[in-house]
Amino acid sequence: MVKRILVVCTHNSARSQMAEAYLKRFLQGRAEVYSAGTDPRGVHPMARIVMEEEGYDLSTHTSDPIERFLSESWDYVITVCDAARESCPYVPARVNLHVSFPDPSQGDIETFREVRRAIRAWAEEFARQI
């Protein structure tokens, strides 16, 4: 049975976009993965660059509001930033998880790479567990 996963952060610009890309690859066909933001602002250019370094193309990704997904059924809803955890409306799911990753948006390209590495490691482990 294919799982449905929604990854949420504040702006849906970096962390949730990276997590969505990794989970899609690591769960290949075992899950439908989406991402959303409590205050979407568009995909961050440096997120596109660092993911492209690993062969991921975020050019087709959109930055979507959480409200778009509220009426859907989810197996997992995962918040990846503390602000989203606090402000996200309750989204019913079989499992609601929170994993905190630092916000790379105020840093340089190396900050984005560090966050990318942390998200990749988490996503690989998460994919093995479900």
List the domain boundaries for the chain.
3-129
**3-state class (DSSP) for residue 57:** coil
- Please say if 88 is a catalytic residue: yes
> 20 φ, ψ to 5°?
-60, -50
- Please say if 107 is a catalytic residue: no
Task: Provide the strand spans (E) within the chain.
Answer: 3-9, 31-37, 74-79, 93-98
pTM summary value: 0.95
Catalytic residue among 5, 6, 9, 119: 9
> 39 φ, ψ to 5°?
-150, 70
- Please say if 105 is a catalytic residue: no
Is domain 3-129 annotated with CATH 3.40.50.2300?
yes
Catalytic residue among 7, 43, 81, 123: 81
Catalytic residue among 46, 88, 115, 123: 88
Mean pLDDT value across residues 81-103: 85
Dig out the tokens for 12 from the structure: 């849906």
CB 88 within 8 A of CB 38: yes
Q: What is the pLDDT of residues 6-46, one digit of tens each?
A: 999 999 999 999 999 999 999 998 999 999 999 999 999 99
Mean pLDDT value across residues 47-56: 98
